[in-house]
């Protein structure tokens, strides 16, 4: 579980790297390759990509913004006039659950599990308590579908390299 402190972003935001579109090159290379044209933002059919700091594109998984998830359709990659989105693999984001999850209040909720097409969220039975969501990290694609309808905004998708993720790993 992600601690409330970490979940609420008690980290220095400026030290966290933004989430770039899937297939983005490593950050330093991305920044020198991307032309900040926003073609990828305009091409994204789900509205996940936004124009971020410095006009560089970012994936906005802000809880409550409720964007549609990334479908890995590749439209952003195809629209990019540079090699900025030419990595062979997509991002390595993983879902994390905070202590705001209803299961922590002994309330049954399986919304996130129902939204996960990758079936990466399981609810192992828990003696004397409500089952908590448990992530199969190897199955999670970081698409973000699970967070959109979470009633308590208890889910984030984070890079395992991020400070917030390392705080709970």
Footprint of ligand SF4 (CB under 6 A)? 21-22, 34-40, 43-44, 46, 48-49, 57, 70-76, 79-82, 84-85, 95, 115-116, 118, 120-121, 135, 140-146, 157
Residue that has been written with the tokens 């926003």 in this structure? 38
- Compute the Cα dihedral for 32, 38, 42, 46 and give only its sign: positive
The CA distances from residue 45 to 41, 73, 92, 137, in Å, are 9, 9, 21, 26
Alpha-carbon span 52 to 50, nearest angstrom: 6
Q: Between residues 6 and 133, which has the closer beta carbon with respect to ligand SF4?
A: 133
Q: Least CB distance from residue 150 to ligand SF4, whole Å?
A: 10
Alpha-carbon span 109 to 111, nearest angstrom: 6
Q: Least CB distance from residue 16 to ligand SF4, whole Å?
A: 18
Angle at 144 between CA 120 and CA 122, to 5 degrees: 20
Q: Least CB distance from residue 146 to ligand SF4, whole Å?
A: 3
121-122 vs 134-135, strand pairing mode: antiparallel
Q: Between residues 6 and 157, which has the closer beta carbon with respect to ligand SF4?
A: 157
Q: Between residues 87 and 145, which has the closer beta carbon with respect to ligand SF4?
A: 145
Q: Least CB distance from residue 24 to ligand SF4, whole Å?
A: 7
Q: Between residues 34 and 101, which has the closer beta carbon with respect to ligand SF4?
A: 34
């Amino acid at each position: 579980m992600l601690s409330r402190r970490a979940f609420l972003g008690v980290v220095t935001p400026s030290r966290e790297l933004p989430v770039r579109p899937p297939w983005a090159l490593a950050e330093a290379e991305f920044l020198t390759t991307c032309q900040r044209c926003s073609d990828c933002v305009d091409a994204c059919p789900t509205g996940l990509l936004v124009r971020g700091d410095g006009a560089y594109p970012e994936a906005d998984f802000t809880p409550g913004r409720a964007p549609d998830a990334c479908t890995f359709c590749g439209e952003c990659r195809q629209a990019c006039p540079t090699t900025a989105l030419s990595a062979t693999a997509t991002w390595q984001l993983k879902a994390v659950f905070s202590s705001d999850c209803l299961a922590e209040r002994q309330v049954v909720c399986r919304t996130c599990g129902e939204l996960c097409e990758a079936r990466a969220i399981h609810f192992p039975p828990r003696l004397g308590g409500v089952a908590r969501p448990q992530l199969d990290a190897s199955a999670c694609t970081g698409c973000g579908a699970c967070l959109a309808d979470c009633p308590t905004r208890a889910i984030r998708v984070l890079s395992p390299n991020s400070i917030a993720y390392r705080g709970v790993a």
